[in-house]
A and B are shown apart, each in its own frame.
Chain A
Amino acid sequence: MLIGASGFIGSAVQRRLEEEAISTLALGSADIDLLDTSASIHIAEALHPNDAVVMLAALTPDKGRDIATLMKNLTMMQSVCAAIEKSGCAHLIYISSDAVYDSRMNRTTEETPASPPDLYGAMHHTREIMARSLGQVPVLVLRPTVVYGLDDTHNSYGPNRFRRAAKNDGKITLFGGGEETRDHIHVDDIAALTVRCLLHKSTGLLNAATGRSASFHYVAEMVANQFGNSIEIITTPRANPITHRHYDVTNLIKAFPDFRFIDLVDGIALVHKESLVTA
């Protein structure tokens, strides 16, 4: 059961599940309203004890960063947890976020303490704890880093916004000089990792990151290159201190030593190519 199947990551996971010929009940926001009091009943009716659940439905920050959004997100998770408590399931993967980490934390591992700096991070951290509270259900929490891909609608700072800015405005505007480094992962890698974790029935906590960080300036250059170097990269006076984030993905390598990530340069080129086809 894939809950949140119509979203950016959910769609990619659904595609991957289909490629692997894994029988899937994909539920998007059009299929079920997790804020409705009857949601847990509907989920419980469709859920069987041998099923696995991937939960990634959430109101993302672009839908709101306030307390009301936090409470809605917790209610959505409450519906899912109530259904699992009633019907049981064999495996639960909760797709969380690296927002649970303090933004000042640089080198990040699974041992890095969660210390969310805002309500969005607190929401994911709370939902992780809700998932783990489900008694006998084996739970994996997957914490993706910055995800990019063609279908991203969130327009957050990074490859997706840079591509749109380059296409629409002919320029990419950076915060400061774009010195900050982040680990960018292609949405198809998140989907592939999710399916691997399902097949291995992985439990515990795993950061979904590539282990290689790049500066936003570098990413902007790579995006600009797709347009034939006609794109202007504009730096601005720095308003905030520079922060970096690097992931130590040793645990991921130990879990899946033959997993191959999409290289950032290749991934940016792939998304650009897909966007041309879509256009």
Chain B
Amino acid sequence: MTTPIIGYAGMTHLGLNSAVAAAEKGFQTVCYDADSLVISQLARTELSIVEPDLSELLKKNIDRIKFTADLSQLRSCDLVYIASDVLTDDLGKSDLEPIGALIAEVATGMRPDAVMVVLSQVPPGFTRGLFREDRQLYYQVETLIFGQAIQRALHPERFIVGCAEPHEPLPPAFAQYLESFDCPILPMRYESAELAKISINVCLVASVSVANTMAELCESIGADWSEIVPSLKLDRRIGQYSYLAPGLGIGGGNLERDLATVCNLADQNGTDAGVVRAWIANSHHRRDWVLRSLYREVLSKTDNPVIAVLGLAYKQDTDSTKNSPSLALLDHLQSFQVRVFDPVVPASEVPNPRCHGAESEYEACEGADVLAVMTPWRQFKDLGLHEVAKAMRGRVVLDPYGVFDSEQCSDAGLSHHTLGVGAFGVGTLA
């Protein structure tokens, strides 16, 4: 059997990372995007997205990757992935028009005997709507995580494949490609696979919501969630990889999309999604943790405070600011002087006319009454806290993710506030 050639249509985050992973596994890969500017930049290995190892692996495998804006180049492929990211609005609703157009376009360019696989984030029912007797069509669940996209594409836990007929064997080219990753392959109906993708994310949200709920309680009664987490992870029913780190609500867009999809489906079908709506409400509540803490510790006490913010991206190792808690916070601080620094996101993205974009973390802290660490970039861990304290005018550090060590903050004379950690003896007012 010859080695199949793999095509990827749509050079967004999902498509590019998936294509580079395929090339790294040794497959000849054709990367198509109608935008010739995007293609020419990628051909020069210039990236507009930030993802660990992506740049290195792209350069390493560039001989196996053909970037093209010419649709006819997909005729060489045995397997073509529709891999464009599906954009969502602020309510998590997907815009499916662009992917519909891309699928129609690719169908005219690929060989009739080649296999089309929808890898994009689509709602249940979408793939069935594309089915035609004369087309080999599959849906494959993607579980991309921003900041870990390459690692997860290279080492998937399993493949979940939506099929028109799950009991029939996969086409040889598709099977050969998936088997090269040496992980379980789970064929199922289109609808089951589409809902499996959502179910995974719903489970993750449930775990995070538990963590956020209990962490907030910890803050109120003087407990420390970080002390509790290991006891949960050692419980087999919960597990060592469970999502138990408290955060500032759900961000990034994909989880919100799936929660919105579940609510919409439940509304259409009359099933109960009350718990999902509670998670969404909890997420909104936790997003404002820093604002509430900032108000309690600084804004309600200090005239004309200067506020330093480290991190603008919605999480570390990405330049994505979609639903970023940092930008959401800054949106409410427009009447205050703020100083910001992010390793990759420019200060021009901050919705604040009084924002100063600093060249470094220390410069951002200069004269600040309070420091908020809004994205847990690794490099922030290495900051000298005495130097931070020296640069600041005030002492308050709001560090939701616990980037800094509380004891070291204390040594530097800083008052450290982090998610899930309450002060000893602090309960309700009475």
Residues in A lying within 8 Å of B, measured CB to CB: 111, 181, 211-215, 217-218, 221, 248, 250, 253-254, 257-261, 264
Closest 7 CB pairs of A and B: A218-B430, A215-B430, A214-B429, A250-B288, A253-B295, A254-B332, A257-B299
Q: Which chain A residue has the least Cβ–Cβ distance from B287?
A: A250
Of the four ranges (under 10, 10 to 19, 20 to 34, 35 or more), the interface on chain B belongs to 10 to 19
* Cβ contact within 8 Å between A254 and B291: yes
Among B281, B335, B430, which residue has its beta carbon within 8 angstroms of that of A217? B430
* Cβ contact within 8 Å between A257 and B429: no
By a CB distance below 8 angstroms, the chain B residues around A212 are 429
* Cβ contact within 8 Å between B300 and A260: yes
**Bound: A253/B300 CA distance, A:** 10
**Bound: A250/B332 CA distance, A:** 11
By a CB distance below 8 angstroms, the chain B residues around A213 are 428-429
* Cβ contact within 8 Å between A257 and B295: yes
**Bound: A94/B299 CA distance, A:** 28
* Cβ contact within 8 Å between B430 and A250: no
* Cβ contact within 8 Å between B291 and A218: no
* Cβ contact within 8 Å between B333 and A214: no
B274 vs chain A, min Cβ distance (A)? 13
Please judge, given known A-B contacts A181-B430, A215-B428, A215-B430, whether A257 and B292 are in contact too, CB under 8 Å: no
* Cβ contact within 8 Å between A257 and B333: yes
**Bound: A111/B282 CA distance, A:** 12
Chain B residues numbered 311-347 whose CB sits less than 8 Å from any CB in chain A: 332-333, 335-336
* Cβ contact within 8 Å between A261 and B288: no
Q: Which chain A residue has the least Cβ–Cβ distance from B334?
A: A257
| B285 contacts A by Cβ under 8 Å | yes
* Cβ contact within 8 Å between A250 and B429: no
**Bound: A181/B292 CA distance, A:** 20
**Bound: A167/B367 CA distance, A:** 49
Chain B residues numbered 272-313 whose CB sits less than 8 Å from any CB in chain A: 281, 285, 288, 291-292, 295, 299-301
Among B285, B333, B336, which residue has its beta carbon within 8 angstroms of that of A248? B285
By a CB distance below 8 angstroms, the chain A residues around B299 are 253, 257-258
* Cβ contact within 8 Å between A250 and B336: no
Q: With a 10 A CB-CB cut-off, give which of B288, B291, B300, B336 has the most chain A CB atoms.
A: B300
By a CB distance below 8 angstroms, the chain B residues around A253 are 288, 291-292, 295, 299, 332
A215 vs chain B, min Cβ distance (A)? 4
**Bound: A254/B412 CA distance, A:** 31
* Cβ contact within 8 Å between B430 and A257: no
**Bound: A259/B300 CA distance, A:** 7
Among B300, B333, B336, B428, which residue has its beta carbon within 8 angstroms of that of A261? B300
**Bound: A211/B291 CA distance, A:** 13
B295 vs chain A, min Cβ distance (A)? 5
**Bound: A178/B292 CA distance, A:** 28
Please judge, given known A-B contacts A213-B428, A214-B429, A215-B429, whether A257 and B288 are in contact too, CB under 8 Å: no
By a CB distance below 8 angstroms, the chain A residues around B428 are 181, 213-215
By a CB distance below 8 angstroms, the chain B residues around A181 are 428-430
By a CB distance below 8 angstroms, the chain B residues around A254 are 288, 291, 332
**Bound: A181/B430 CA distance, A:** 8
Contact with A along B89-115 (1 / 0, CB 8 A): 000000000000000000000000000
Q: With a 10 A CB-CB cut-off, give which of B285, B335, B336, B429 has the most chain A CB atoms.
A: B429
A174 vs chain B, min Cβ distance (A)? 12
Please judge, given known A-B contacts A257-B299, A258-B299, A260-B300, whether A250 and B335 are in contact too, CB under 8 Å: no
A220 vs chain B, min Cβ distance (A)? 10
Q: Which chain B residue has the least Cβ–Cβ distance from A255?
A: B332
Q: With a 10 A CB-CB cut-off, give which of B281, B292, B295, B428 has the most chain A CB atoms.
A: B295
By a CB distance below 8 angstroms, the chain B residues around A259 are 300
Chain B residues numbered 134-164 whose CB sits less than 8 Å from any CB in chain A: none
User: Knowing that A181-B429, A211-B292, A264-B429 are A-B contacts, what are 9 other residue pairs whose CB atoms are under 8 Å apart, sorted by A's residue number?
Assistant: A213-B428, A214-B429, A214-B430, A215-B428, A218-B430, A253-B291, A253-B299, A257-B291, A257-B299
By a CB distance below 8 angstroms, the chain B residues around A214 are 428-430
* Cβ contact within 8 Å between B281 and A111: yes
